[in-house]
Amino acid sequence: MLTLALDTANDRIAVALAGEGREVARVEILTRGHAERLFPLIDELLAEAGTEIGRITRIAVNVGPGSFTGIRIAVAAARGLGLALGIPVVGIDALRLIAASLDEPAGGPVLAAVDARRGEVYAALYGRNGEVLEAPFAADADTVLARLGDRAAVLAGSGAPLLAHQAAVSGRRVPSVDAMTGTLPLALARLGALADPAAAPPRPLYLRAPDAKPQPPVPGLLA
């Protein structure tokens, strides 16, 4: 299986290719222009891997939570490519991806967290083998810690420092912290290769309403 991974959920763009003895990834920091840069970056990735788009057998996409517009760009691109190539497309949530991107294996459950702004974090709890112990949800840091903090061995993701600070000021135990600057695109490809297409649809994961009302649909993106 040759899996293409696409991620435009935040202020960067990441693509990866894994399978058939290949593991290639590219990441660019990008605050805007994700839609224009995505397909040229895919072409560059395929050239580096020495393969062609027609050899891809699966596509994995980060479905968030993350940037409202960014998520839509990658999901729309993944769906379009999957339809054109006649191959499965699977969605992997950003919190699961965080748990799979740790520098070192966790010694226990991983509390993956993304800074959601407005005093909240997106959070989920995963076991050492990636199993879901608590599904993704949005809440303030104190609520997340009250619900999951005592079970976590590691706090990971952009929301980890917020949780660690809240744990310290409230007198709770402070787990190890990995405030990773970015997830691993190859981890997304590997997760995508293992996912069941029937159980992991490529659908944006929104845990709360967007901060602003979205503009009318852009041709080529999701309605």
What percent of the chain stands above pLDDT 70? 93
Cα–Cα nearest to 204, from 223, 219, 188? 223
Residues 57 and 3 sit within 8 Å (Cβ to Cβ): yes
pLDDT digits (tens, 9 = 90+) for 174-199: 999 998 878 999 999 999 999 999 99
Give 37's pLDDT tier (boundaries 50, 70, 90).
very high
pLDDT at 119: 86
Query: Quick one: average pLDDT of 78-88?
Result: 97
Q: Which of 158, 8, 26, 154 is nearest to 69 (CA)?
A: 8
Model-level pTM greater than 0.85? yes
Rounded Cα distance, 70 and 7, in Å: 8
Write out pLDDT tens, residues 150-170: 999 999 999 999 999 999 999
* pLDDT at residue 126, rounded to an integer: 96
Q: What is the structure's pLDDT at 223?
A: 44
What's residue 181's pLDDT? 76
pLDDT at 50: 94
Structural element, H or E, at residue 68: helix 68-85
Inter-residue contact 146 to 133 (CB < 8 Å): no
pLDDT at res. 32: 85
29-33, 39-43, 59-63: range with lowest mean pLDDT:
29-33
| Separation between Cα atoms, residue 179 and residue 183, nearest integer Å | 10
> In the structure encoding, which two tokens stand for residue 83, read together?
């339809």
Ordered structural domains, the chain, with CATH: 3-94+183-194 (3.30.420.40), 103-178 (3.30.420.40)
Mean pLDDT of the chain: 91
- Give the pLDDT of residue 212: 46
Mean pLDDT of 48-67: 94
**Residues 135-155 pLDDT 10s:** 999 999 999 999 998 999 999
Tell me what pLDDT residue 67 has.
82
